[in-house]
Structure 1
Amino acid sequence: MSKVEVVIAEDELWIRSMIGEMVEKLGPEFHVVCEVGNGEDAWSYIEESWPSIVITDIMMPRKNGLWLAEQIATQELPIISIIVSGYDNFQYAKQAMRFGISEYVLKPVNEEELHDALRRSVQRLAGLSDTRQTIARIQKFAETLPDLAQTEVQQAIDHVVNETYRLKVPGHVRSKLLNALSNQMNAFLHGIDSGYPVRPLEAGTEAEVRRHFQGLIASWIDLYPKYANQHVRMAIRKVCEHLDEHYAKTYSLPEAAEMAHLSVSHFSSLFKKSTGLTYLNYVNQLRIEKAKEELLAPEVKIYEVAAAVGFASLPYFNRIFKQLTGVTPQEYRKRLGI
C-alpha cells in the first residue's frame, strides 16, 4: 500500500494525541502529517499539502468539523473525511452525509472502530486514484512555477490541462480540477502584483478553457520581471529568520504568508523553493533541531523539552522526533550516554 497521509483536527489535546497513536498503530503506511485544534488550521494545511484522509471532530473553535468537511466536499477534493464526535445526534450525522461522509465514529473512540473506518477509507481512495494523480500534477506545477522560465510555463500548463481532459471523470469533476489549476495560477500572479485583476475560470468549451489559460500565461510573461525582483525572495528569508528566533510560537500558514505580504499559494511555492521543505515540515525540523540541543541537559524532562520547542502534545513531539531522526527522544539520549 502507498503512503496514506492523515490530518487530525481535534481541539481536545489528549484525544488528538490518542487518535494519532491509534492511526499509526494500524500500519507503517499510515502517517499523521498534521495535528491541529480547529478546522481553519486544518484547511490551511489541506490547501498546501492535500493529504489522503482527514479525521475531524465536529465541535471545535474558529471553524468546526462540518465546515471543514463542507470545504472538502464543495471543492470536490479527492480526500476522505472521517467525523469523530461525542454528540450522538442524528442531525450531525445527516449533515455529514450531505458532504459525502460515510464514516462517523463516536467518542470515546474505539481503536478497532477507527481502524475499520480507516481501512474502508483507503478502499474509497483507490477509486479516486486518477483524480488524486491530477491534483498531484497541479501541486507539482504550483511548486515548480517559481523555477520555470517564461517559455516553460506554457508547456507545464498544457501538460496538466491535457492530462485533465484525458481523465474519464464527470464533467463537473474535470471543471473543479481545471479551476484548481486556474486558482493556483491566479493566486501566484496576485502574489507577485496585488493589483493584478484575478480572472476566474468560467465554464465553457475546451477551446474557451485553453484560451483562459493562454491569458494567464500572457499575464505571467508580463509580470515575470517583477517576480524576478529580489525583494520577493527576501520576504521568505525574513520569515525564516523570524521562525528561527520564535520557533516555540505557533504561526499558521496564513499568518506566515501575511508576514511576507504574499498570498498563501504564492508563499507556499516560494517557501518550498527557498528551503526545500513545506512550511510545516520546516517548522517541525527547526523545532526538532532545537529539541536535540535541549535534550543534552539531563535534568530537563522530555515533556519539558517538547513544550519548550513549541509542541503542545508530548506524543506528537515523540512521533515527529522519530520521523525526522529515526529514534525516540529517550533513545536519542541513551545513544549520547545521557
Structure 2
Amino acid sequence: MSYSVVFVEDEQIVQEEIASSIRWELLGLNLVGTASDGLEGEQLIKRLEPDIVITDIRLPAQDGLTMLSHCPVNHAIILTGHTDFNYMKQAIRLGVFDYLLKPVDDEELEETLASLVKKIQEEDHDYEQLRKNPNSGGELIPLPRNVNNHVIDATIAYIAESYAQPVGLQEAAAYLELSESHLSRLFKEVTGLNFLQYLNAWRVNKSVEQMKDPKKNIAEIAISCGFPTPGYFAKIFKRFTNKTPTQFRDEQGSV
C-alpha cells in the first residue's frame, strides 16, 4: 500500500531537491502535490486529504503550524531552519511526528519517513483488528469502556460529551489536568488504541446512528459528529469500515 504526501516549502530549490531526490516509491509513498505558501498548502491539503504533510514553518501568507491547525492532518513532519522552542511545543500539540532542522540530509528525512510509515502501518493494523471484532451493543466499532482505570474512564466520558466539538488530545489533557504525553501513553496502554483512533471511532459510531435518519445528508452528519470536512469524514469512515459513508448507508438501506 502507498501513502500520499503533500510537501509545502517556499524555497523553490529546496522543494525541487527534496521532491526529486527522496525515494518515495521505495518508502511506500506517493508525492501527490507541492505548494509554496501556507494558504496554497491549506487548500491543497483540504483537496487531496494526504496521509502525510511535510512542511516548513515560516511560509508566505500563513505559517506552517497555522496551516496544519486548519487542516485535517493526522501525520506531519516539520522542516525548519529555526530552533524556536515555542514552535516545537506547538508542533507537539498538533501531533507532529518529527521536527527536522534545515539543511535536511536526504538520508535523515528518508529514515524519518520510514519510521512514520511504520507507525501508520501499525495504526492500519489496529483498524483492521477493529474491523474483525464482532459488533457489540449495536455499535459498528466496538470500543472498550469502563476499563477500571479512573483516568481512562474519565477520558472516555470526556469524548462522549465533547466528540461533536473540535477537540483532541490537547483539550482532553487540559480538562483532566494531565500532561499530553502521560495521557497519550496511558490511553494506548489501557485501551489498545491511541486517543485519536478512539475519538474517530466514537465519531464514526455516532455518524452511523445519524445515518438511520434519511433526512440527514452525509455532509451534515460529518460536521455534526465533529469531523472538520466531509472529505476527511469519508476517509476516516473508510479506514474503519472499508466502505465510504454513502456505500455503507446504501447497503443498510437495502437490508
In structure 2, do the counterparts of structure 1 residues 85 and 62 end up closer, same or farther at CA, with 3 Å as the change threshold? same
Offset of 1:27 from its aligned partner? 2.1
8 Å contact 1:24–1:31 — kept in the other structure?
Answer: no
- 1:56-71 map, 5 Å: 56-71=55-70
8 Å contact 2:97–2:116 — kept in the other structure?
Answer: no
In structure 2, do the counterparts of structure 1 residues 96 and 210 end up closer, same or farther at CA, with 3 Å as the change threshold? closer
Which of 198, 214, 219 is 2:212 aligned to?
A: 214
What's the C-alpha RMSD, in Å, of the aligned pairs? Answer: 3.8
Q: Give the gaps of 5 or more residues in structure 2.
A: 129-137, 145-191, 219-228, 235-255
Structure with more helix by fraction: 1
Paired with 1:25 and 1:212, the residues of 2 have a C-alpha distance of: 40
Query: Who is 1:114 aligned against?
Result: 109
Offset of 1:172 from its aligned partner? 6.0
Q: What amino acid sits opposite 1:112 in the alignment?
A: E
- 1:1-338 map, 5 Å: 2-24=1-23, 27=26, 29-71=28-70, 75=72, 77=73, 79-129=74-124, 163-165=140-142, 169=193, 173-176=197-200, 179=203, 210-215=208-213, 217-220=214-217
Q: What amino acid sits opposite 2:210 in the alignment?
A: H
Larger Rg: 1
Deviations 1:5-48 (A, max 9, x none): 21101112221111112323672733211001123333333333
Task: Look up the SS of the partner of 1:60 in the other structure.
Answer: coil
Deviations 1:278-324 (A, max 9, x none): xxxxxxxxxxxxxxxxxxxxxxxxxxxxxxxxxxxxxxxxxxxxxxx
Paired with 2:196 and 2:77, the residues of 1 have a C-alpha distance of: 24
8 Å contact 1:48–1:265 — kept in the other structure?
Answer: no
Paired with 1:102 and 1:171, the residues of 2 have a C-alpha distance of: 15
Task: Look up the SS of the partner of 2:22 in the other structure.
Answer: helix
Task: Look up the SS of the partner of 2:96 in the other structure.
Answer: coil
In structure 2, do the counterparts of structure 1 residues 131 and 49 end up closer, same or farther at CA, with 3 Å as the change threshold? farther
Offset of 1:129 from its aligned partner? 0.9
TM-score, length basis structure 2: 0.53
8 Å contact 1:38–1:60 — kept in the other structure?
Answer: yes
8 Å contact 1:66–1:95 — kept in the other structure?
Answer: yes
Task: Look up the SS of the partner of 1:24 in the other structure.
Answer: coil
In structure 2, do the counterparts of structure 1 residues 25 and 33 end up closer, same or farther at CA, with 3 Å as the change threshold? closer
Deviations 1:193-237 (A, max 9, x none): xxxxxxxxxxxxx6x75543333x22459xxxxxxxxxxxxxxxx
Paired with 2:103 and 2:54, the residues of 1 have a C-alpha distance of: 14
Paired residues in the alignment total 169
Paired with 1:39 and 1:55, the residues of 2 have a C-alpha distance of: 12
Paired with 2:127 and 2:45, the residues of 1 have a C-alpha distance of: 13
Offset of 1:124 from its aligned partner? 1.4
Paired with 1:42 and 1:52, the residues of 2 have a C-alpha distance of: 14
Offset of 1:84 from its aligned partner? 0.4
Paired with 2:202 and 2:43, the residues of 1 have a C-alpha distance of: 20
Q: What amino acid sits opposite 2:215 in the alignment?
A: A
Deviations 1:124-155 (A, max 9, x none): 1122215777xxxxxxxxxxxxxxxxxxxxxx
Q: Give the gaps of 5 or more residues in structure 1.
A: 134-160, 182-205, 222-263, 270-338
User: Percent same amino acid among aligned pairs?
Assistant: 24
Deviations 1:242-271 (A, max 9, x none): xxxxxxxxxxxxxxxxxxxxxx969xx9xx
TM-score, length basis structure 1: 0.41
Q: What amino acid sits opposite 2:200 in the alignment?
A: K
